Structure 1
Amino acid sequence: MKRRYFGTDGIRGQSNLFPMTPDLAMRVGIAVGTIFRRGAHRHRVVIGKDTRLSGYMLENAMVAGFTAAGIDAFVLGPIPTPAVAMLTRSLRADIGVMISASHNPFYDNGIKLFGPDGYKLSDDLEMEIEDLLDTDMTAQLAKSAEIGRAKRIDGVHDRYIEHAKRTLPRDVTLQGLRVAIDCANGAAYRVAPAALWELGADVVTIGNEPDGLNINLDCGSTHPEALQRKVHEVRADIGIALDGDADRVQIIDENGKFIDGDQLMAVIAESWAADGTLRGNGIVATVMSNLGLERFLTGKGLNLQRTKVGDRYVVEHMRQNDYNVGGEQSGHMVLSDFGTTGDGLVAALQVLACVKRSGKSVSEICNRFEPVPQVLKNVRIKTGQPLEDTVVRQAIADAESELAKTGRLLIRPSGTEPLIRVMAEGDDRAQVERIVDELVNVIGSARTAA
C-alpha cells in the first residue's frame, strides 16, 4: 500500500503545506497517543525539536494532540534527535517525538517517532497511524478529567552531555586537541561544544547562532565549506560537521579534506574489531555505501551487509542480526552499544578516541581506503512515474549490464524529497559519469513527457 504521510524517516514536508500543517501535527499526536495508550499507568510523551521557526508551531500542535488523547507531554525544547531517543527510555515515556527535517532547509520540517525502547517505529506501526489519520478520531479523545498535562523539562541538555561523554573510552581525554565544530545552527548548538570542552578539547565553534531561519544554511554536514575554512584559519586538528538535528556527522581533517561516513565506518569497524568489541564480524550500511568500503572490509576479514537507504533499515538489520556498528555514507552512524539511532557527536568521539590512542593525525586515521569513483545526480520530479517508462527501464537494464563486472548502479526515488537519485560507481570514472549523465537525461525526458 502506498504511504500518504510517512517517508523513509518519518513525516516530512514544507511547513504550512500538506502534510506539515499544525492540523496534521495535532492529528498525529491524537493518533499516536491513541495507539500507545495501553495499560492503566499515566502515559507520557517526550517532544524535542531542532531550531526551525516552524518548530514552535508544530510543537504546540503536537502537545495539543497528545494531551487531547490523554497523554502527558514532556517538552524538551531544542535538542538532538539521539537525545530524544535516549530520554524516551530514561524518562520511561511511552513515545518520543522529534520535530525536525534533519539536513533540509529551514522551510521544511518533519516528525520522527520513537517507541518506548528508543527505536524508530516499524512500518506496521506507521501504517496503523496512517489508517487512524484518515478517520474521524473524535471518539478517541480523552474524557475531560483525563486530558493530559504538559510541562517543560529542565536539565535535559546536561543529561545528554553526560551520556555522550561516557561513550569516550575511560583511558582517553581530548586534551591537546583543537577541535572545530559546526553545529549547523541546529539542535546541538549548545550540547556538542559543551561536551567536547568538558572532555578536555580546545573547542572552536561555528554554526551556533540559530535564528529560526539559518539552520543548515551554508553550514553543517551538507555544506562543509565554512568548516573547512575554519579548520585552516585556527589550525584545528579536526573539524566536526553536524546536521540540523545532530544525528549525522562528517569530518574534516587537519588539511581541510572532507571525510564521509563510509570512511568513518571503516575507522570504527577496524578499531572495534581490534579491541574485540565488534559484533557480527562486520557492519551494516546501505546500498549507497562505496564499493571501496566493501573491498576494504573484505580485506580485513570483515563483512558488509547492505540495506535500503534510511538509518531505520540499518538499525532494523543490526537488531535482527546482532551487529553493533552501522551507518550511511551521509554520516548517520549507529553505534548500538551507546544508542538506538544515529548520533553524530558520539560517532565523532569514537574517531577522536582512535586519533588520541594512536598519536596519528586525523588524515592518517581516516584515510582507510581509496573510494571507487562514484557519481550521484538527482532528477527532480513533480508528477508521473518516470521509472515505469519503457524507455527508462531499458536504459537502466543496459547500464546495469555494462557495469555488471566492474561496478554498481542504483536508481531510487528519494524518501524525503521529490527526487529520483541516480548513482553509479565503478573503477572507470569516465564510464560511470557517462552512464549517470545518460540515465539522468532519459529519466528527465520521461518526466517531461509525463
Structure 2
Amino acid sequence: MGRKYFGTDGVRGRVGEAPITPEFVMRLGYAAGVTLVAREHLPHGEHPAVLIGKDTRISGYMLEAALEAGFAAAGVDVMLAGPVPTPAVAYLTRALRLQAGVVISASHNPFYDNGIKFFSAGGAKLPDAVEAEIETRLEEPMGCVDSARLGRARRIDDAAGRYIEFCKSTFPNELDLRGLRIALDCAHGAAYTIAPAVFHELGAEVLAVGVEPNGLNINDGVGATRPENLRAAVLAQGADLGIALDGDADRLIMVDRKGEIYDGDKLLYVIAAARAAEGRLEGVVGTLMSNLGFEHAVARLGVPFERARVGDRYVLEMLHERGWKLGGENSGHIICLDRHSTGDGIVSALQVLAALKQRGQSLAEACADLVFYPQRLINVRLPAGFDWRADRAIGAAAEAAETALGARGRVLLRPSGTEPLLRVMVEGQDGAEVDTLARSIADTVKEAVG
C-alpha cells in the first residue's frame, strides 16, 4: 500500500499548498506525538521529548510553531534547536537521548518549498512502520490531552556548539588544517554559522560565501547544486580548494584550486581509496546512477561494490543490510557510518580532507585512477497509466543497446519519483555511441506513447 504523505525523504511540498500548510503540519506534529506516546511506554508522568531543527527558509518560523503546537497537544515535550543542519538534528537527538528528531527543511529546493523529516532516537531515518502509523493517525480527528499532561517547549542554546564539537571529533586528532585556504559555500542555509566555525577551529583559513541568509535566498545560485559559484570563489580568491554544502548541509561538492568540480562519486572514491589502503573498508554502496567508471575503480581497490536505488535512504538501508560503513550518491550525499548515523556534508568534507592529508595528495592526484565514462540522460514524459515496462518495443530497444555496449557500458530505464517522466540513461566508454543509443531508446519511448 502506497503512502499518502511521506515520500522517500519525509513530507515535502510548496509552502501554502497541501500538505505544507500550518493546519496540516500541526496535525502532523500531533499524529507523530500520539505515535511516540503510544510506542514509548514511559513511566507515569514522564513525557516523550523531540528535537526540532530547521534551515533558514522564512516559512520555518511558521512551521516550527505549528509542529510545536501539535506535539504539545499530544503531550510531547519539544526542544528547539533553531537553524542547524539536518545531520545536526540526527546527532543531537541521539546525544540528548530524545525519542525523535524533526527537521524543517526542503534541502536543496528553493525557498518557497519546505518539508518535514523525522529521525528516530538512534539518529537514523524513521522506520517505514512508524511513518505508516503516523499516516494512519493523520486520517483521525486531532485531539488534545488534558492541561496537566500538555507538552512543554524550551530552546537549546548550545545546539550549534555541541554539533561543532561533534564534527571536529570526526577528524583525526593528530591532523589539522593549518596552511589550507578553503573557500566555503554554505548556500545561505542551515550551516551558515556552523561550517565556517568547524573548519576555522581545525586551523584552516576560511573564505566564506553563501553565509547571509534572509529567508528567501537559500540555494539561490549558491551551494552544492550550483557549484559554479564555488568555482568562481576558489579562482578569484586563490583558495587551495572549495567546499559547497546545500541548504540543509547533508550534501557535499568540492572544487580544487584549478576550478575542477568534484561530485559525490569522486569524493566517495577519495574516502574509499584511503580506507582501502589502510585495510578498513568492507565494501562500498553506490546507486543506480553511480558512474560505471566509479564501480570499476572501486573494483580495482579489491573492494565489493553494490548499487542501491536512487536516494540516500536506500543507500543507508543497503549499508545496514551488508554491514558496511561507506556509501553515497553522485549528488553529494555521502554516508560514513563509522562517523555518523546519516549523511553529513561537513563530516564528509572532513573525511576527504583527512584522506588528502594522510596520503599527501591533492584532489586531482587522489582521483587519478578514477576515469568517468560518458553518460547521457534523457527524460521522456509519460501519459497517465502508461506501462512502459510492458511495452515490447521499449524493451527491445534497451536490450539492443545493452548488446551493443556489452561490458563497456550499461543502460538504465527508471521512472522519476516526483514527475511523470521516464529517465533514459546510457553510459559507456565511447561518448558518441552513448549519445546515439540514448537517443534511439528515447525516440522509441516517444513513439510508444504516441
Letter in 2 for 1:312: R
- Mapped to 2, the partners of 1:386 and 1:235 lie a distance apart of 52
Taking the TM superposition and a 5 Å limit, the aligned residue runs for 1:262-277 are: 262-277=265-280
Equivalent pairs, count = 442
| TM-score, length basis structure 1 | 0.93
Letter in 2 for 1:181: L
- Mapped to 1, the partners of 2:396 and 2:87 lie a distance apart of 40
Match of 1:424 in 2: 426
- Mapped to 2, the partners of 1:439 and 1:208 lie a distance apart of 44
Say which SS state the counterpart of residue 4 (structure 1) adopts.
Answer: coil
Match of 1:206 in 2: 209
Work out whether 1:403 is the aligned partner of 2:405: no
Task: Indicate conservation of the 8 Å contact 1:22/1:61, yes or no.
Answer: yes
Letter in 2 for 1:18: A
> Offset at 1:439?
4.5
Match of 1:196 in 2: 199
- Mapped to 1, the partners of 2:333 and 2:13 lie a distance apart of 20
Match of 1:81 in 2: 86
Work out whether 1:19 is the aligned partner of 2:19: yes
Q: Aligned match of 1:171 in 167, 174, 190?
A: 174
> Offset at 1:122?
1.9
1:249-296 CA deviation, whole Å, 9 max, x = no partner? 011111101111111111111111222332xx2111111111111111
Q: Aligned match of 2:435 in 397, 410, 433?
A: 433
Gaps in structure 2 of 5+ consecutive residues: none
Task: Indicate conservation of the 8 Å contact 2:27/2:138, yes or no.
Answer: yes
> Offset at 1:136?
2.2
Match of 2:373 in 1: 372
Q: Percent identity?
A: 51
> Offset at 1:125?
2.0
Task: Indicate conservation of the 8 Å contact 1:396/1:439, yes or no.
Answer: no
Letter in 1 for 2:10: G
- Mapped to 2, the partners of 1:189 and 1:377 lie a distance apart of 35
Say which SS state the counterpart of residue 342 (structure 2) adopts.
Answer: coil
For residues 55 and 414 of structure 1, do their structure 2 counterparts lie closer, same or farther at Cα, with a shift above 3 Å needed?
farther
> Offset at 1:143?
2.0
> Offset at 1:116?
0.5
1:46-97 CA deviation, whole Å, 9 max, x = no partner? 0111111111111111111111111111111110011000001111111111
1:232-262 CA deviation, whole Å, 9 max, x = no partner? 1111111111011000101111110111111
Say which SS state the counterpart of residue 6 (structure 1) adopts.
Answer: coil
Taking the TM superposition and a 5 Å limit, the aligned residue runs for 1:41-440 are: 41-138=46-143, 141-278=144-281, 281-379=282-380, 384-388=384-388, 394-404=393-403, 405=406, 406-416=408-418, 419-440=421-442
Say which SS state the counterpart of residue 426 (structure 2) adopts.
Answer: strand
For residues 165 and 35 of structure 1, do their structure 2 counterparts lie closer, same or farther at Cα, with a shift above 3 Å needed?
same
Q: Aligned match of 2:41 in 24, 39, 42?
A: 39
1:394-440 CA deviation, whole Å, 9 max, x = no partner? 32542243124232222333335665433221222223223333444
Task: Indicate conservation of the 8 Å contact 1:184/1:217, yes or no.
Answer: yes
Letter in 2 for 1:155: D
For residues 95 and 419 of structure 1, do their structure 2 counterparts lie closer, same or farther at Cα, with a shift above 3 Å needed?
farther
For residues 134 and 436 of structure 1, do their structure 2 counterparts lie closer, same or farther at Cα, with a shift above 3 Å needed?
farther
| TM-score, length basis structure 2 | 0.93
For residues 397 and 6 of structure 1, do their structure 2 counterparts lie closer, same or farther at Cα, with a shift above 3 Å needed?
farther
> Offset at 1:212?
1.1
Say which SS state the counterpart of residue 7 (structure 1) adopts.
Answer: coil
Task: Indicate conservation of the 8 Å contact 2:397/2:444, yes or no.
Answer: no
For residues 287 and 107 of structure 1, do their structure 2 counterparts lie closer, same or farther at Cα, with a shift above 3 Å needed?
same
Letter in 2 for 1:268: I
For residues 344 and 385 of structure 1, do their structure 2 counterparts lie closer, same or farther at Cα, with a shift above 3 Å needed?
farther
- Mapped to 2, the partners of 1:99 and 1:60 lie a distance apart of 11
- Mapped to 2, the partners of 1:446 and 1:160 lie a distance apart of 52
Gaps in structure 1 of 5+ consecutive residues: none
For residues 445 and 58 of structure 1, do their structure 2 counterparts lie closer, same or farther at Cα, with a shift above 3 Å needed?
farther
Letter in 2 for 1:183: C
Task: Indicate conservation of the 8 Å contact 2:184/2:206, yes or no.
Answer: yes
- Mapped to 2, the partners of 1:340 and 1:444 lie a distance apart of 42
Say which SS state the counterpart of residue 242 (structure 2) adopts.
Answer: strand
- Mapped to 1, the partners of 2:310 and 2:215 lie a distance apart of 29
Task: Indicate conservation of the 8 Å contact 1:386/1:443, yes or no.
Answer: no
For residues 19 and 379 of structure 1, do their structure 2 counterparts lie closer, same or farther at Cα, with a shift above 3 Å needed?
farther
Task: Indicate conservation of the 8 Å contact 2:397/2:440, yes or no.
Answer: no
1:34-54 CA deviation, whole Å, 9 max, x = no partner? 111122232111011111111
Letter in 1 for 2:26: M
- Mapped to 2, the partners of 1:213 and 1:187 lie a distance apart of 13
- Mapped to 2, the partners of 1:385 and 1:375 lie a distance apart of 26
Say which SS state the counterpart of residue 340 (structure 2) adopts.
Answer: coil
Say which SS state the counterpart of residue 50 (structure 2) adopts.
Answer: strand
For residues 258 and 277 of structure 1, do their structure 2 counterparts lie closer, same or farther at Cα, with a shift above 3 Å needed?
same
